[in-house]
Amino acid sequence: GAVVSQHPSWVICKSGTSVKIECRSLDFQATTMFWYRQFPKQSLMLMATSNEGSKATYEQGVEKDKFLINHASLTLSTLTVTSAHPEDSSFYICSADLRETQYFGPGTRLLVL
């Protein structure tokens, strides 16, 4: 149990375009999901907390207008990277909270050319 999926697993896009990443909890409902960014050989950097039915809470330094988060249902949260630039290239990982334990998706590799 406690399976989380992410789609797509990797994406290449041109600078200036927007990219949407989906995070789904497959076998449980998650009121809270989290979005992280990870650089090579480093730990996870929390970007925002996604709450079902309400606005996301962003960490300091994360631009809410650039990283749009929508948590429209108890099993789906989406992260949209708007007007992506090469510096947005990274590994994005979501997690879903179940009984105060976070279960992670497999990650999405984003490359902005």
Residues that bind another protein (CB under 8 A): 2, 4, 6, 32, 34, 41-44, 46, 49, 51, 57, 91, 93, 95, 97, 100-107, 109
Looking at the Cβ atoms of 6 and 78, the one nearer to another protein is 6
- Least distance to another protein from the beta carbon of 46, Å? 7
Looking at the Cβ atoms of 18 and 26, the one nearer to another protein is 26
Q: Pairing between strand 19-25 and 10-13?
A: unpaired
Looking at the Cβ atoms of 5 and 82, the one nearer to another protein is 5
Looking at the Cβ atoms of 14 and 41, the one nearer to another protein is 41
- Least distance to another protein from the beta carbon of 15, Å? 23
The answer to whether residues 104 and 4 touch, using CB atoms and an 8 Å cutoff, is yes
Cα separations in angstroms, 98 against 32, 75, 101: 8, 12, 5
- Least distance to another protein from the beta carbon of 6, Å? 8
- Least distance to another protein from the beta carbon of 83, Å? 26
Distance CA 7, CA 58 (A): 22
Distance CA 53, CA 72 (A): 6
Judged by DSSP in three states, 6 sits in strand
Q: Which residue has the tokens 């650089």?
A: 39
